[in-house]
Amino acid sequence: MYNDTERIAPGAEPLLSLPSKPWRLAVLVPGLGSRIEQWASLRARLAIEDDFGDGNVVWLNFEESTGIVIPPLEALATRLRGRVDAEWAKHGEFNDVVLIGHSLGGLVARQAYLQAAGAVRGEPGSEWASHVSRIVLFASINRGVDLARIPLGNFFVWVTRKILFFPHFWMMDVIRGSNFLTNLRINWIRHFGRLVKGQEASECWPDGRLKRPPLVVQLLGEQDGVVSPDDSKDVLAFPSGHYLLVPDANHRNLHRFDQARDLEGRYAILRRAFVEDFADNPTKQSAVRRVVFLLHGIRASNIDTWIEELKKLVIERDGEHTAVRHPTYGYFTAARFALPSVRRKNITKFQDWYTEALAECPTAEFNIIAHSNGTYILGQSLRHTPGMHFVNVILAGSVLPTHFPWDQLKGQVGRVRNDRANRDWPVALLCNALRGLCMWDIGTGGFAGFEGDETLEVAYYNGDHGEVLRPVYQAALVDFIFGGDLVRPKNLANSPGFYRQLSNAMPYFAVLLVMAILTGMGCLIFQNGEFHPYWLLSSVLAIIVVYALLDIL
């Protein structure tokens, strides 16, 4: 078995007896359930190459990513970054660093690199990041795992969170659109964008070397059932990103060229990733300068009339340089919105949509018009993904609380326009009722307005939850998205009238309703003064089944 830090050649002399100092550090991060021994054949073969030959390389094996019980991936990446820091100090620096990651290990290696490069908020950076010349990814799950492709995937997540009470199981990090993956992909795109600009401007590192982004190679087996070629848009968005298909290989044995039917053919491809030079990937420069998201809310979908009407207006305004994205998470009822775990479920979908759009248009500015539950998805995403940026934001019928911390999101959002209607019952009544049940993540910001002066308040439209999005007001919304001045409609009401008092009463009404339901259940369970365990069990099971069906489906 290989030691934690070792020479590549079996039986080599200890490092201290080498006549010359190794110039390369190779960092190997295996995937889940893998073992260092499985890499022995590839490493022994690479030892024949000059760049990885005897005396030239020190291998750092990071095995903490291989077990079932591991910490969150952010913490795992921090450990890896610290281990590389220690090797860097112990050997008196290296001339070159190569990062190698397989499957989940690819995510850990990428995040550790971003931390060391100072591309993660709050991380000061490490010197070795500027010496990383190559990042070799073996079927790295760059976009994450799509739960829809996994049998009972949503049920597994529900059991993990609700039954096992794991607040943050590491597998949540690899779900497509998770906070960890979204931050990683956004930071990656922005960091590599800066490196490309620095290279074009002939900028230098502090030691005088010319800046250039590391070469990144994603190797993928043709029989891989976990990762697809389209899952690496963020990696391939830049000239230094490359993709190699490995025949007769799957997700688990991609690196095991000793198990291939054509050993030399498999090694020839793997060798390219490690030692050969690549011409710049001819990435197409996107003409898109502006991306506009249209995000629907409850009891709606992306085919709603207002979506198509706003899209048409945006395209008419500047269809050549503006891309409109209007993805859908399907029909979403008010009952499902009332369940915390259900309304949070679509956050990951939106975060995945955002990173995919950013990978396709890395230099574009982003704007959004969000309605109802779409404003909740947007607000929660902004709070947990610091790299998410929007220049112009329009909130219609917002379900965010009045104290939502817009002041803490400076730099992430530019102008925020909050349009409110005076008969918006989902916001004024339902959201305030749910707050009476201690659901503090939602509120009446779309009815009562937001606290502070960070938002541009537009109130009150004479109408219900969808009044703001009627055709008569759409031109002004589009003009705001394109950077125009805020223009308030002339027919706004001064007050919401009796809806204000009705909204204020809803928390008390919700508490009384819950108490009435519990009282009714108690009467059934203790009929005639006797305890009836059957009714207790039936009541509890009924609540669990209804909640689970709304949550899982």
- Each residue of 46-86: pLDDT tens digit? 999 988 887 889 999 998 876 666 788 999 999 999 999 99
Same domain for 138 and 109: yes
Q: What does the DSSP 8-state code read for residue 429?
A: I
DSSP string spanning 78-131? Answer: HHHHHHHHHHHHHTT--SEEEEEEETHHHHHHHHHHHHHTT-STT----GGGGG
Distance from the Cα of residue 51 to its chain's centroid: 36
**Is position 29 within any domain?**
yes
Same domain for 87 and 103: yes
Element (H, E) at 311: helix 305-318
User: What Cα–Cα distance (Å) separates residue 506 from each residue in 47, 159, 382, 436, 446?
Assistant: 72, 32, 28, 7, 16
**Is position 322 within any domain?**
yes
Distance from the Cα of residue 95 to its chain's centroid: 33
Residue 14 has pLDDT above 50, yes or no: no
Q: What's the domain count of the chain?
A: 3
Strand order in the sheet with 365-371: 322-325, 290-295, 365-371, 390-396, 413-421, 456-461
What's the pLDDT tens digit per position in 337-367? 888 878 888 999 999 999 999 999 999 999 9
What's the pLDDT tens digit per position in 483-514? 999 999 999 999 999 999 999 999 999 999 99
Strand order in the sheet with 132-138: 5-6, 57-61, 24-29, 96-102, 132-138, 215-221, 241-246
Same domain for 338 and 194: no
The pLDDT value given to residue 298: 84
Same domain for 477 and 538: no
Evaluate whether 295 touches 282 at the Cβ level (below 8 Å): no
Same domain for 377 and 354: yes
- Residue scoring higher pLDDT (534 or 425): 425
**Is position 450 within any domain?**
yes
Cα separation, 373 vs 328, in Å, equals 12
The two structure tokens encoding residue 388: 């998410």
What residue has token string 């199981």? 169
| Local confidence band at 15 (pLDDT 50, 70, 90 cut-offs) | very low
Same domain for 510 and 490: no
Closest CA to 289 of 221, 348, 364: 364
Q: Write the secondary structure of 57-78 as one string of H (helix), E (strand) and C (coil).
A: EEEEECHHHCCCCCCCHHHHHH
What residue has token string 């950076």? 125
The pLDDT value given to residue 286: 78
What's the whole-model pTM score? 0.89
Evaluate whether 421 touches 380 at the Cβ level (below 8 Å): no
Same domain for 264 and 192: yes
**Is position 424 within any domain?**
yes
Closest CA to 491 of 542, 547, 421: 421
Closest CA to 55 of 63, 65, 67, 47: 47
Domain boundary among 248, 275, 302: 275
Range of the domain at 337: 290-499
**Is position 165 within any domain?**
no
Mean pLDDT of the 119-131 span? 93
Report the 10 Å Cβ neighbour count for 248. 14
Same domain for 137 and 202: yes
Residues sharing a CB contact under 8 Å with residue 231, sequence separation 6 or more, in sequence order: 141, 142, 143
What values do phi and psi take at 428, rounded to 5? -65, -40
Evaluate whether 428 touches 459 at the Cβ level (below 8 Å): no
**Is position 163 within any domain?**
no
Same domain for 379 and 334: yes
Same domain for 482 and 516: no
Q: What is the CATH number of the domain that holds 97?
A: 3.40.50.1820
Mean pLDDT of the 191-214 span? 93
Evaluate whether 400 touches 474 at the Cβ level (below 8 Å): no
**Is position 171 within any domain?**
no
| Longest alpha-carbon distance in the chain | 92
Phi and psi based region of residue 478 (left: phi greater than 0; alpha: psi -120 to 50; beta: remaining): alpha
Which range is least confidently modeled, 40-54, 90-104, 116-130?
40-54
Cα separation, 25 vs 96, in Å, equals 6
Cα separation, 438 vs 270, in Å, equals 55
Percent of the chain past pLDDT 90, that is, above it, reads 69
Same domain for 320 and 432: yes
**Is position 170 within any domain?**
no
Residue 5 has pLDDT above 50, yes or no: no
Same domain for 459 and 321: yes
User: What Cα–Cα distance (Å) separates residue 224 from each residue in 141, 179, 251?
Assistant: 11, 25, 5
